[in-house]
Amino acid sequence: MTEDARVALTDYLTKHYANLRRRLTRLLGNGDLAGDALQDTWLRLQGQEDKDSIRSPAGYVVRMAVNIAVDIQRRQSRSVPFDEVSALMEQADPAPNPAQAVEIRSDLETLLKLMERLPERRRKILMLVRLEHLQQKEVAERLGISKSIVEHELRRAHDFLDVHMNNDKK
């Protein structure tokens, strides 16, 4: 764009800014977007490379501003609105914080040590029911014992772990 054309377009934009903004606001439905587009248009005009002369400064400026506004709208549609970001930031993080993670690891270590203290059959029943998610009837069949023994051993394992886990935390 020649220096004369750049000056002519910049002058046109400056002199007709209010009219251009109203026109763009009607086209785009948003006054702020129209203002942003005109500002970007002015900046872009300042950095334009040499081109042939422009027949209609008004048409050129309006078309450039509309194209810039469409680009702005596309960028904004890809971003998350501020109120949605705020709402997301207020949501609690389900992951444990570092202190909670240390406490969980410690509880797990304590639980594993306590499970080692259980009689072998009781520990095996507990692991089959709680870790492998077998039904008590299936555990009884697998170990060749009655379901009532499985219930009794499981209850005693839970009682033992409950007492010792609660005492260790005190």
The C-alpha angle with vertex 152 and arms to 150 and 157, in degrees rounded to 5, equals 90
- Whether 122 contacts 129, CB under 8 Å: no
List pLDDT tens digits, range 31-73.
888 888 888 888 888 776 655 566 777 788 888 888 888 888 7
pLDDT the model gives residue 1: 56
pLDDT at res. 98: 87
pTM for this model (two decimals): 0.45
Q: Give the number of other Cβ atoms within 10 Å of residue 15's Cβ.
A: 10
Share of the chain above pLDDT 70, in %: 86
Q: ∠11-13-18 over CA atoms, to 5°?
A: 125
Q: What value does the mean pLDDT of the chain take?
A: 84
Round to whole Å and give the CA distance between 11 and 109.
76
In the chain, the domains with their CATH numbers are 3-88 (no CATH), 98-169 (1.10.10.10)
Cα angle at 77 between 72 and 78, to 5 degrees? 100
